[in-house]
Amino acid sequence: MNNTTNSPQLGFLQEYEYSETLVLAGISPLGEMIAIRPICENLAIDRKWQQDKIKSDAHLSSTGGMVKVIAQDGKSREMYCLPPLAIQEWLYNLTASENMNVEVLNEYKKGLVVHLLMMLKVSLDEIQRLRSIEKKYQSLKSKVGMMMSIEEQAAEARIISRERSYEKKMISKSVQESLFENVNQLSIED
């Protein structure tokens, strides 16, 4: 699996490698989606013509839609996609032509959709794993924050305790000096 992003994201397409070609797939609000553009490029067929053909098909057009992809320049763009079953149907209905990369088409028919579904499952599992780790991290961060706050309060309390202890010592010293300054002052009158 060759992801173009640092972590899987819902609603965005990711790059996956299959049969030494790169394809884009992702999990969008529409469900699992596979971009037709890279498939057309890998098969050496006209993407625009294929997209128009798909949009004119009553069944396929009702399942397709635009999904975001993060391009190499870092900008978000939309790409026309189909769900896995529609991609499989589209692939099986393609007619080989002399310019088409038939070897790649045959490889795609054998297992592209299954491979991408497995990769998307792995990506979804990774998203869930990362969210679980993030929750644990946030909980730990909160506990460490509370611990640091208590430690700061304890440090402040130690400073106040030392100050009070010093004040007590100074008062005690003052009392002792007053008591022993003039011993005759403490005489008891009759």
pTM above 0.95, yes or no: no
* Helix, coil or strand: residue 2: coil
* Helix, coil or strand: residue 126: helix
Per-residue pLDDT of the chain (190 residues; tens, 9 = 90+): 343 334 445 567 888 888 888 888 887 877 888 899 999 999 999 999 999 999 999 888 888 888 888 777 778 888 899 888 888 889 888 888 888 988 888 888 888 878 777 777 776 666 677 778 888 888 888 888 888 899 999 999 999 999 999 999 999 888 887 777 666 655 555 5
Give the residue extent of every domain in the chain: 12-135
